[in-house]
Protein backbone atom coordinates (compact mmCIF):
# COMPACT_ATOMS: atom_id res chain seq x y z
CA UNK A 1 0.00 0.00 0.00
CA UNK A 2 1.24 3.50 -0.84
CA UNK A 3 1.53 5.58 2.33
CA UNK A 4 2.95 8.95 1.29
CA UNK A 5 6.20 10.64 0.38
CA UNK A 6 7.91 10.24 3.76
CA UNK A 7 7.66 6.44 3.70
CA UNK A 8 8.50 6.38 -0.01
CA UNK A 9 11.59 8.65 0.11
CA UNK A 10 12.62 8.50 3.77
CA UNK A 11 16.33 8.07 2.99
CA UNK A 12 16.31 11.46 1.28
CA UNK A 13 14.52 13.31 4.10
CA UNK A 14 16.09 14.79 7.25
CA UNK A 15 13.62 13.32 9.76
CA UNK A 16 14.33 11.32 12.89
CA UNK A 17 13.61 7.62 12.47
CA UNK A 18 11.37 7.70 15.56
CA UNK A 19 9.31 10.68 14.39
CA UNK A 20 5.58 9.98 14.22
CA UNK A 21 4.70 10.48 10.56
CA UNK A 22 1.78 12.81 9.84
CA UNK A 23 0.62 11.86 6.37
CA UNK A 24 -2.47 11.88 4.18
CA UNK A 25 -0.72 9.64 1.62
CA UNK A 26 0.26 12.68 -0.44
CA UNK A 27 2.39 12.37 -3.57
CA UNK A 28 2.32 9.53 -6.11
CA UNK A 29 0.44 11.89 -8.42
CA UNK A 30 -0.06 10.96 -12.07
CA UNK A 31 2.32 12.03 -14.84
CA UNK A 32 -0.15 12.45 -17.68
CA UNK A 33 0.82 12.63 -21.36
CA UNK A 34 -0.62 15.64 -23.19
CA UNK A 35 -0.57 14.05 -26.64
CA UNK A 36 -3.37 16.10 -28.20
CA UNK A 37 -1.78 19.38 -27.19
CA UNK A 38 1.68 18.16 -28.21
CA UNK A 39 0.38 17.11 -31.63
CA UNK A 40 -1.17 20.53 -32.09
CA UNK A 41 2.22 22.15 -31.41
CA UNK A 42 3.65 19.92 -34.14
CA UNK A 43 7.24 20.04 -32.87
CA UNK A 44 7.63 16.39 -31.96
CA UNK A 45 7.82 17.05 -28.24
CA UNK A 46 6.95 14.54 -25.55
CA UNK A 47 4.76 16.63 -23.24
CA UNK A 48 3.62 15.65 -19.74
CA UNK A 49 1.60 17.15 -16.92
CA UNK A 50 2.50 16.23 -13.37
CA UNK A 51 -0.94 16.77 -11.87
CA UNK A 52 -0.28 17.92 -8.32
CA UNK A 53 -3.92 18.93 -7.98
CA UNK A 54 -4.55 15.29 -7.09
CA UNK A 55 -2.83 15.58 -3.73
CA UNK A 56 -5.04 15.13 -0.63
CA UNK A 57 -5.84 18.83 -0.21
CA UNK A 58 -5.64 19.53 -3.93
CA UNK A 59 -2.18 21.06 -4.29
CA UNK A 60 1.57 20.33 -4.22
CA UNK A 61 1.80 21.95 -0.78
CA UNK A 62 0.93 18.60 0.83
CA UNK A 63 4.35 17.19 -0.07
CA UNK A 64 6.02 19.91 1.95
CA UNK A 65 3.43 19.99 4.69
CA UNK A 66 3.70 16.31 5.62
CA UNK A 67 7.41 16.83 6.31
CA UNK A 68 7.03 20.24 8.01
CA UNK A 69 4.23 19.07 10.32
CA UNK A 70 5.92 15.74 11.07
CA UNK A 71 9.06 17.60 12.10
CA UNK A 72 7.18 20.31 14.02
CA UNK A 73 5.36 17.66 16.05
CA UNK A 74 8.59 15.73 16.59
CA UNK A 75 10.14 18.91 18.00
CA UNK A 76 7.22 19.32 20.38
CA UNK A 77 5.52 22.22 18.64
CA UNK A 78 1.87 22.65 19.61
CA UNK A 79 0.88 25.28 17.03
CA UNK A 80 1.84 26.34 13.53
CA UNK A 81 1.32 29.51 11.51
CA UNK A 82 1.58 30.50 7.87
CA UNK A 83 0.77 33.34 5.51
CA UNK A 84 -0.93 32.11 2.39
CA UNK A 85 -2.52 32.87 -0.93
CA UNK A 86 -4.73 29.88 -0.10
CA UNK A 87 -3.18 26.50 -0.80
CA UNK A 88 -0.61 26.58 1.97
CA UNK A 89 -3.35 27.47 4.45
CA UNK A 90 -5.55 24.59 3.26
CA UNK A 91 -2.69 22.13 3.52
CA UNK A 92 -1.40 23.41 6.88
CA UNK A 93 -4.91 23.27 8.33
CA UNK A 94 -5.43 19.67 7.21
CA UNK A 95 -2.06 18.33 8.43
CA UNK A 96 -2.29 20.25 11.72
CA UNK A 97 -5.74 18.77 12.26
CA UNK A 98 -4.33 15.30 11.64
CA UNK A 99 -1.46 15.97 14.05
CA UNK A 100 -3.81 17.37 16.69
CA UNK A 101 -2.10 20.77 16.91
CA UNK A 102 -3.37 24.32 16.40
CA UNK A 103 -3.08 26.15 13.11
CA UNK A 104 -3.21 29.90 12.41
CA UNK A 105 -3.38 31.19 8.86
CA UNK A 106 -2.97 34.76 7.64
CA UNK A 107 -4.62 35.43 4.31
CA UNK A 108 -5.23 38.49 2.14
CA UNK A 109 -8.85 39.46 2.62
CA UNK A 110 -11.00 38.77 -0.44
CA UNK A 111 -8.04 37.54 -2.48
CA UNK A 112 -8.06 33.79 -2.01
CA UNK A 113 -10.13 31.25 -3.90
CA UNK A 114 -13.25 30.19 -2.06
CA UNK A 115 -12.42 26.48 -1.98
CA UNK A 116 -9.15 27.17 -0.18
CA UNK A 117 -10.87 29.32 2.43
CA UNK A 118 -13.47 26.57 2.91
CA UNK A 119 -10.69 24.04 3.49
CA UNK A 120 -8.87 26.14 6.10
CA UNK A 121 -12.13 26.77 7.96
CA UNK A 122 -13.34 23.18 7.70
CA UNK A 123 -10.09 21.79 9.12
CA UNK A 124 -10.40 24.08 12.11
CA UNK A 125 -7.66 26.61 11.48
CA UNK A 126 -7.94 30.07 12.96
CA UNK A 127 -8.30 32.23 9.85
CA UNK A 128 -6.88 35.74 10.15
CA UNK A 129 -7.81 37.91 7.17
CA UNK A 130 -5.65 40.98 6.73
CA UNK A 131 -6.25 44.16 4.80
CA UNK A 132 -3.07 43.54 2.86
CA UNK A 133 -1.50 41.08 0.42
CA UNK A 134 0.51 37.87 0.84
CA UNK A 135 3.77 39.77 1.23
CA UNK A 136 2.31 41.76 4.16
CA UNK A 137 1.14 38.47 5.66
CA UNK A 138 4.58 36.91 5.30
CA UNK A 139 6.21 39.84 7.08
CA UNK A 140 3.69 39.60 9.93
CA UNK A 141 4.16 35.84 10.26
CA UNK A 142 7.92 36.27 10.65
CA UNK A 143 7.43 39.01 13.23
CA UNK A 144 4.89 37.12 15.30
CA UNK A 145 6.91 33.88 15.21
CA UNK A 146 9.84 35.77 16.72
CA UNK A 147 7.75 36.70 19.74
CA UNK A 148 5.85 33.43 20.23
CA UNK A 149 6.47 29.68 20.11
CA UNK A 150 4.56 29.21 16.86
CA UNK A 151 6.28 27.17 14.13
CA UNK A 152 6.25 28.80 10.69
CA UNK A 153 5.17 26.33 8.01
CA UNK A 154 5.69 28.59 5.02
CA UNK A 155 8.39 27.45 2.61
CA UNK A 156 11.01 29.46 4.53
CA UNK A 157 10.76 26.41 6.81
CA UNK A 158 13.39 24.18 5.16
CA UNK A 159 11.40 21.01 5.83
CA UNK A 160 8.78 22.24 3.37
CA UNK A 161 11.23 22.26 0.45
CA UNK A 162 12.58 18.90 1.56
CA UNK A 163 9.16 17.38 1.06
CA UNK A 164 8.41 19.23 -2.13
CA UNK A 165 11.62 18.04 -3.79
CA UNK A 166 10.08 14.55 -3.99
CA UNK A 167 8.08 15.63 -7.03
CA UNK A 168 11.33 15.54 -9.02
CA UNK A 169 12.08 12.06 -7.69
CA UNK A 170 8.68 10.78 -8.81
CA UNK A 171 9.01 12.28 -12.28
CA UNK A 172 12.52 10.88 -12.72
CA UNK A 173 11.44 7.48 -11.39
CA UNK A 174 8.48 7.42 -13.79
CA UNK A 175 10.42 8.49 -16.88
CA UNK A 176 13.59 6.58 -16.06
CA UNK A 177 15.40 9.91 -16.58
CA UNK A 178 14.83 13.61 -15.94
CA UNK A 179 12.90 15.57 -18.55
CA UNK A 180 14.87 17.94 -20.80
CA UNK A 181 12.76 20.91 -19.69
CA UNK A 182 10.69 21.41 -16.57
CA UNK A 183 8.05 24.15 -16.66
CA UNK A 184 6.26 25.42 -13.57
CA UNK A 185 4.57 28.47 -12.06
CA UNK A 186 6.59 30.69 -9.73
CA UNK A 187 5.08 32.67 -6.87
CA UNK A 188 6.95 32.60 -3.58
CA UNK A 189 9.55 30.51 -5.47
CA UNK A 190 9.74 27.66 -2.98
CA UNK A 191 8.56 25.09 -5.45
CA UNK A 192 11.04 25.81 -8.24
CA UNK A 193 13.78 25.72 -5.60
CA UNK A 194 12.49 22.39 -4.29
CA UNK A 195 12.21 20.89 -7.77
CA UNK A 196 15.81 21.88 -8.46
CA UNK A 197 16.94 20.43 -5.12
CA UNK A 198 15.29 17.12 -6.01
CA UNK A 199 16.88 16.89 -9.44
CA UNK A 200 20.26 17.93 -8.04
CA UNK A 201 20.15 15.18 -5.41
CA UNK A 202 19.19 12.54 -7.97
CA UNK A 203 22.01 13.75 -10.19
CA UNK A 204 24.48 13.54 -7.34
CA UNK A 205 23.31 10.02 -6.44
CA UNK A 206 23.65 8.99 -10.10
CA UNK A 207 19.95 8.20 -10.49
CA UNK A 208 19.74 10.63 -13.43
CA UNK A 209 22.46 11.64 -15.90
CA UNK A 210 21.40 15.25 -16.37
CA UNK A 211 18.94 17.63 -14.74
CA UNK A 212 16.31 19.52 -16.73
CA UNK A 213 16.43 23.15 -17.76
CA UNK A 214 14.14 24.93 -15.29
CA UNK A 215 11.56 27.27 -16.82
CA UNK A 216 9.67 29.43 -14.33
CA UNK A 217 6.56 31.33 -15.35
CA UNK A 218 4.75 34.16 -13.60
CA UNK A 219 1.64 36.26 -14.02
CA UNK A 220 2.41 39.54 -15.77
CA UNK A 221 1.12 41.61 -12.83
CA UNK A 222 3.22 39.65 -10.32
CA UNK A 223 6.47 38.92 -12.13
CA UNK A 224 9.42 39.93 -9.92
CA UNK A 225 11.72 37.33 -11.50
CA UNK A 226 11.01 38.63 -14.99
CA UNK A 227 11.48 42.25 -13.93
CA UNK A 228 14.49 41.47 -11.76
CA UNK A 229 13.11 43.28 -8.74
CA UNK A 230 10.34 43.03 -6.17
CA UNK A 231 6.82 44.18 -7.04
CA UNK A 232 4.98 46.41 -4.54
CA UNK A 233 1.38 45.86 -5.62
CA UNK A 234 1.19 42.44 -7.29
CA UNK A 235 -2.05 41.85 -9.15
CA UNK A 236 -3.37 38.85 -11.07
CA UNK A 237 -6.48 36.75 -11.40
CA UNK A 238 -4.25 33.78 -10.54
CA UNK A 239 -4.47 34.63 -6.82
CA UNK A 240 -2.24 31.69 -5.83
CA UNK A 241 0.76 33.47 -7.36
CA UNK A 242 -0.22 37.04 -6.47
CA UNK A 243 3.16 37.55 -4.77
CA UNK A 244 5.61 40.42 -5.22
CA UNK A 245 8.36 39.62 -2.73
CA UNK A 246 9.30 35.93 -3.14
CA UNK A 247 10.95 34.43 -0.08
CA UNK A 248 13.10 31.94 -2.02
CA UNK A 249 14.55 34.71 -4.21
CA UNK A 250 18.21 33.56 -4.15
CA UNK A 251 17.41 29.84 -4.38
CA UNK A 252 15.23 30.35 -7.45
CA UNK A 253 17.88 32.43 -9.21
CA UNK A 254 20.36 29.71 -8.40
CA UNK A 255 18.08 27.10 -10.01
CA UNK A 256 17.67 29.29 -13.09
CA UNK A 257 21.40 29.93 -13.46
CA UNK A 258 22.62 26.41 -12.78
CA UNK A 259 20.06 24.82 -15.08
CA UNK A 260 20.54 27.52 -17.72
CA UNK A 261 16.82 28.15 -17.56
CA UNK A 262 14.69 31.27 -17.70
CA UNK A 263 11.68 33.15 -16.35
CA UNK A 264 8.82 34.56 -18.38
CA UNK A 265 5.38 36.06 -17.79
CA UNK A 266 1.83 35.77 -19.10
CA UNK A 267 -1.24 37.98 -19.04
CA UNK A 268 -4.31 36.93 -17.07
CA UNK A 269 -6.09 36.37 -20.37
CA UNK A 270 -3.40 33.99 -21.61
CA UNK A 271 -3.49 32.14 -18.28
CA UNK A 272 -7.26 31.64 -18.42
CA UNK A 273 -7.09 30.58 -22.06
CA UNK A 274 -4.56 27.90 -21.22
CA UNK A 275 -6.60 26.74 -18.23
CA UNK A 276 -9.55 26.30 -20.59
CA UNK A 277 -7.44 24.51 -23.18
CA UNK A 278 -6.20 21.98 -20.62
CA UNK A 279 -9.72 21.34 -19.40
CA UNK A 280 -11.19 21.01 -22.89
CA UNK A 281 -8.39 19.28 -24.81
CA UNK A 282 -6.73 17.21 -22.11
CA UNK A 283 -9.52 16.67 -19.57
CA UNK A 284 -7.42 18.20 -16.80
CA UNK A 285 -8.93 20.89 -14.58
CA UNK A 286 -6.16 22.84 -12.88
CA UNK A 287 -6.31 26.23 -11.21
CA UNK A 288 -5.27 29.39 -13.09
CA UNK A 289 -1.85 29.65 -11.42
CA UNK A 290 -1.03 26.12 -12.57
CA UNK A 291 -1.99 26.80 -16.16
CA UNK A 292 0.82 29.33 -16.51
CA UNK A 293 3.23 26.35 -16.64
CA UNK A 294 1.63 25.03 -19.81
CA UNK A 295 1.25 28.52 -21.26
CA UNK A 296 5.02 28.85 -20.92
CA UNK A 297 5.78 25.41 -22.30
CA UNK A 298 3.54 26.00 -25.32
CA UNK A 299 5.02 29.40 -26.14
CA UNK A 300 8.60 28.24 -25.73
CA UNK A 301 8.02 25.05 -27.74
CA UNK A 302 6.38 27.07 -30.52
CA UNK A 303 9.26 29.54 -30.70
CA UNK A 304 11.80 26.66 -30.50
CA UNK A 305 13.36 28.10 -27.35
CA UNK A 306 12.52 24.57 -26.21
CA UNK A 307 13.89 22.55 -29.14
CA UNK A 308 11.82 20.14 -31.23
CA UNK A 309 11.83 16.59 -29.90
CA UNK A 310 12.36 17.58 -26.26
CA UNK A 311 10.85 15.80 -23.28
CA UNK A 312 8.91 18.47 -21.34
CA UNK A 313 7.15 18.20 -17.98
CA UNK A 314 4.76 20.84 -16.64
CA UNK A 315 3.88 20.83 -12.96
CA UNK A 316 0.17 21.55 -12.59
CA UNK A 317 0.33 22.73 -9.00
CA UNK A 318 -3.32 22.85 -7.91
CA UNK A 319 -6.82 21.61 -8.70
CA UNK A 320 -9.31 23.72 -10.62
CA UNK A 321 -12.08 22.94 -8.15
CA UNK A 322 -10.35 25.24 -5.69
CA UNK A 323 -11.65 28.21 -7.62
CA UNK A 324 -15.05 27.45 -9.18
CA UNK A 325 -15.90 31.16 -9.40
CA UNK A 326 -13.20 31.82 -11.99
CA UNK A 327 -14.07 28.70 -13.94
CA UNK A 328 -17.73 29.57 -14.25
CA UNK A 329 -17.05 33.23 -15.01
CA UNK A 330 -14.56 32.52 -17.78
CA UNK A 331 -16.27 29.49 -19.29
CA UNK A 332 -17.83 29.95 -22.70
CA UNK A 333 -19.61 26.61 -22.45
CA UNK A 334 -23.22 26.86 -23.58
CA UNK A 335 -25.62 27.09 -20.66
CA UNK A 336 -29.14 26.36 -21.76
CA UNK A 337 -32.26 26.88 -19.67
CA UNK A 338 -35.44 25.17 -20.84
CA UNK A 339 -38.69 23.75 -19.57
CA UNK A 340 -38.58 20.14 -18.38
CA UNK A 341 -39.96 18.80 -21.68
CA UNK A 342 -38.59 16.22 -24.09
CA UNK A 343 -38.98 18.39 -27.18
CA UNK A 344 -37.06 21.24 -25.58
CA UNK A 345 -34.22 18.88 -24.64
CA UNK A 346 -34.10 17.45 -28.16
CA UNK A 347 -33.97 20.93 -29.65
CA UNK A 348 -31.12 21.93 -27.34
CA UNK A 349 -29.17 18.83 -28.37
CA UNK A 350 -29.82 19.25 -32.07
CA UNK A 351 -28.82 22.93 -31.94
CA UNK A 352 -25.45 21.89 -30.58
CA UNK A 353 -24.74 18.90 -32.77
CA UNK A 354 -24.68 21.17 -35.78
Given the rule CB under 6 A, which of 33-41, 124-132, 188-196, 202-210 is the region that contacts ligand AN7? 188-196
- Give me the helices (H) in the chain, please: 5-8, 35-41, 61-74, 87-99, 114-122, 134-147, 158-164, 166-175, 190-204, 224-227, 249-259, 268-277, 288-302, 324-330, 342-353
Spell out the residues 6+ positions from residue 174 whose beta carbon is closer than 8 angstroms to its own: 31
93 binds ligand AN7 (CB under 6 A): no
Q: How far is the CB of 38 from ligand AN7 (least distance, A)?
A: 22
Distance from chain centroid for Cα 66? 15
29 binds ligand AN7 (CB under 6 A): no
Q: Residue 126: helix, strand or coil by DSSP?
A: strand
Q: How many residues bind ligand AN7 (CB under 6 A)?
A: 21
| Closer by beta carbon to ligand AN7, 88 or else 162 | 88
Largest CA distance in the chain: 69
Given the rule CB under 6 A, which of 165-173, 179-187, 277-285, 296-304 is the region that contacts ligand AN7? 179-187
| Closer by beta carbon to ligand AN7, 19 or else 321 | 321
| Closer by beta carbon to ligand AN7, 86 or else 211 | 86
318 binds ligand AN7 (CB under 6 A): yes
Answer for which of 59, 172, 200, 310 binds ligand AN7 (CB under 6 A) is: 59
**Could you give the angle at which helices 87-99 and 114-122 cross, rounded to 10 degrees?**
20
CA 103 – CA 122 distance, rounded (Å): 12
239 binds ligand AN7 (CB under 6 A): no
40, 70, 310, 338 from 213: Cα distances, Å: 23, 32, 11, 52
Contact 284, 315 (CB under 8 A): no
Contact 186, 225 (CB under 8 A): yes
Q: How far is the CB of 86 from ligand AN7 (least distance, A)?
A: 5
CA 119 – CA 140 distance, rounded (Å): 22
290 binds ligand AN7 (CB under 6 A): yes
CA 63 – CA 186 distance, rounded (Å): 17
152 binds ligand AN7 (CB under 6 A): no
| Closer by beta carbon to ligand AN7, 247 or else 310 | 247
317 binds ligand AN7 (CB under 6 A): yes
Q: How far is the CB of 280 from ligand AN7 (least distance, A)?
A: 20
Q: What mask of x and - would describe binding to ligand AN7 in positions 249 to 288, judged by CB under 6 A?
A: --------------------------------------x-
CA 266 – CA 217 distance, rounded (Å): 7
289 binds ligand AN7 (CB under 6 A): yes
Q: Reading across the β-sheet that carries 151-152, which strands appear in turn? A: 126-130, 102-108, 79-83, 151-152
Contact 57, 90 (CB under 8 A): yes
| Closer by beta carbon to ligand AN7, 43 or else 171 | 171
Answer for which of 27, 190, 198, 212 binds ligand AN7 (CB under 6 A) is: 190
191 binds ligand AN7 (CB under 6 A): yes
Q: Which residues bind ligand AN7 (CB under 6 A)?
A: 59, 84-88, 155, 185-191, 240-241, 287, 289-290, 317-318
Amino acid sequence: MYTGIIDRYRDYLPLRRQARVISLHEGNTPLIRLDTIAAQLNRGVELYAKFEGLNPTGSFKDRGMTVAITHALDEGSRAVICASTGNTSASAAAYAARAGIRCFVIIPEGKIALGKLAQAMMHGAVVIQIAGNFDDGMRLVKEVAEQTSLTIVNSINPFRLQGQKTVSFEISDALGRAPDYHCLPVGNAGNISAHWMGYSEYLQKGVIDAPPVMCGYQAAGAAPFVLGHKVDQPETIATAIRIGNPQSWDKAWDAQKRSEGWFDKFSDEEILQTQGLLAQRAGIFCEPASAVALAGAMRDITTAKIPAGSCVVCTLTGHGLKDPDIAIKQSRAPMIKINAELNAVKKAILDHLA
